[in-house]
Amino acid sequence: MPSTHFFTRLTQWEYYPWWLANIPVCGYWLWFAARARHLIFFSNVNPGIPLGGAMGESKWDILELLPPEILPKTIPVQAGEDFVNILTALDRAAIGFPLIAKPDVGERGFLVKKVESPEILRDYLSRWNVPFILQEFITLPVEASVLYHIFPGEGGQFGISSVCLKEFLSVRGDGISSIGHLMAQNARSAFQLPRFEQDFPDILKKIPALEEPILLEPIGNHSRGTKFLYGNHLITPEMLAVFEPICRQIPGVQYARFDLKSESLEALQRGEFKVMELNGVLGEPAHIYDPAYGMIRAYRDLYQHWRLLFRLHRAQRKLGHYPTPPGEALRFARGYFQYKKQLEIIGKSSV
Judge whether 209 and 175 are in contact, CB under 8 Å: yes
Assess whether the previous peptide bond of 98 is cis (omega < 30° from 0): yes
β strands within 168-273, DSSP E = 170-172, 213-215, 227-230, 255-262
pTM comes to 0.93
Determine the residue type at 79.
A
> Would you give per-residue pLDDT tens digits along the chain (351 residues)?
555 576 677 667 778 888 888 999 999 999 999 999 999 999 999 999 999 999 999 999 999 999 999 999 999 999 999 999 999 999 999 999 999 999 999 877 788 999 999 999 999 999 998 999 999 999 999 999 999 999 998 789 999 999 999 999 999 999 999 999 999 999 999 999 999 999 899 999 999 999 999 999 988 888 889 999 999 999 999 999 999 999 999 999 999 999 999 999 999 999 999 999 999 998 999 999 999 999 999 999 999 999 999 999 999 999 999 999 999 999 999 999 888 888 776 665 554
β strands within 168-226, DSSP E = 170-172, 213-215
Backbone angles phi and psi of 141, in degrees to 5: -80, -20
Which pLDDT belongs to residue 7? 66
**For the domain with range 73-137, which CATH number is right: 3.30.1490.20, 3.90.1580.10, 3.40.50.2300, 3.30.230.10?**
3.30.1490.20
Report the C-alpha gap between 233 and 211 in whole angstroms.
31
Determine the residue type at 233.
H
182, HSE (Cβ side, Cα atoms, 13 Å) = 25
Which pLDDT belongs to residue 347? 61
Which pLDDT belongs to residue 144? 98
Report the C-alpha gap between 274 and 272 in whole angstroms.
7
Domain locations in the chain as residue ranges: 1-72+138-168+217-318, 73-137, 169-216
Which pLDDT belongs to residue 81? 96
Which pLDDT belongs to residue 1? 52
